[in-house]
A and B are shown apart, each in its own frame.
Chain A
């Protein structure tokens, strides 16, 4: 499924819609690690005038996001939910400590249709981890969730918050 998508020359409507929302909010930079669910979205980001920084590890991305936020930018970290585990100390002892904004946009692995068993434990734990850390999050499962996503993006930078969204596999299957 994702393999087919990554070879397709036409952008998926869900990926186009997300990039348009990032552009509209003035997100910069997008700091990313790859995931095969995010392959199409990453390609769309590269096709648009969005500052994009690829990192080696998610925690590093939290640092870069903090530096960008100190310059008044609106950074977003794009990653798999498995990467959340690599960000936690930095999110608390850097982003939260100084009240800096960051949006964590994650592909949600480990749900229905997951073929990699290693994704399941963290996929289940990720939402509960965010709750423990008092990080507001939403699920983006279909185009119906896009307005809520755009609202949370805006609120994140206006109020200097840490927020998150989980992109479900369903989003790409059901958005036409």
Chain B
């Protein structure tokens, strides 16, 4: 399974998407740009936290496209997610066991670290590991309803995708407009 295939499945879910910096944001942009997407450009490690703040602050479903290297940088976030566990929050960790945006240096999940066990031990109830697109689709249906964490194991391939040509403030403005417009309707 490739990261871009995983991202395509999430992009179809019609939620608010928070994409990690580097390839996750760039691949999401190339696959399906939308005001529903918040592209991170810096602050490595904080995708899961940004998504949690967003999920706790409004009712629409939030999908975070994170990576193993970034989650390892902010493991405390997994305990905070378990503590508040909003049902509109889905954390998808693309685990390619490498720092994909910096040259595929191995992360500790290439060794003994197991993000499924770490996330469960942090207190999270729904944590699933998937290795195929079919399993990802099934799991996304469950997690979309109840919230939870999905660890999608992929290979290290990245697509040949451009740098996102939108200014940071414009990414924010259109995303906030999208959040605001839908919250008024509901």
Query: Nearest CB to that of A28 among chain B residues?
Result: B57
Which A residues between 86 and 109 are near B, CB-CB below 8 angstroms? Answer: 89-90, 92-94, 97-100
Closest to B58 in A: A71
A61 to B172, CA, bound (A): 19
Q: Interface of chain B, helix or strand or loop or mixed?
A: helix
| CB of A43, distance to nearest CB on chain B (Å) | 19
Q: Which of B41, B46, B49, B83 has the most CB of A within 10 A?
A: B49
Does A129 count as interface, using CB distance less than 8 angstroms? no
Min Cβ gap B20→A in Å is 12
Q: Nearest Cβ distance between residue B134 and chain A, in whole angstroms?
A: 31
Is B50 engaged at the interface, CB distance under 8 Å to the other chain? yes
Tell me, yes or no, whether B76 is within 8 Å of chain A by CB: yes
- CB within 8 Å for A70 and B80 given contacts A89-B43, A98-B172, A100-B172: no
Q: Answer whether A98 and B80 are a contact pair too, CB < 8 Å, given A51-B56, A64-B50, A64-B53.
A: no
- Is A67 positioned at the interface, with any CB of B under 8 Å from its CB? yes
Please give the distance in Å from B177's CB to the nearest CB on chain A.
10
Number of interface residues of A (CB under 8 A): 33
1/0 contact string of A27-50 vs chain B (CB within 8 Å): 011000000000000000000000
Chain A residues near B118: list those with CB within 8 A. none
In the assembled complex, the CB of A60 is this many whole angstroms from the nearest CB of chain B, namely: 5
Q: For residue B41, which residues in chain A have a CB less than 8 angstroms away from its CB?
A: 93, 97
15 A–B pairs (Cβ distance < 8 Å), ordered by A: A29-B53, A29-B56, A53-B53, A62-B46, A63-B77, A64-B49, A65-B53, A66-B43, A67-B50, A67-B51, A67-B52, A70-B172, A72-B180, A97-B42, A100-B172
Interface residues of A (CB under 8 A from B): 28-29, 51, 53-57, 59-73, 75, 89-90, 92-94, 97-100
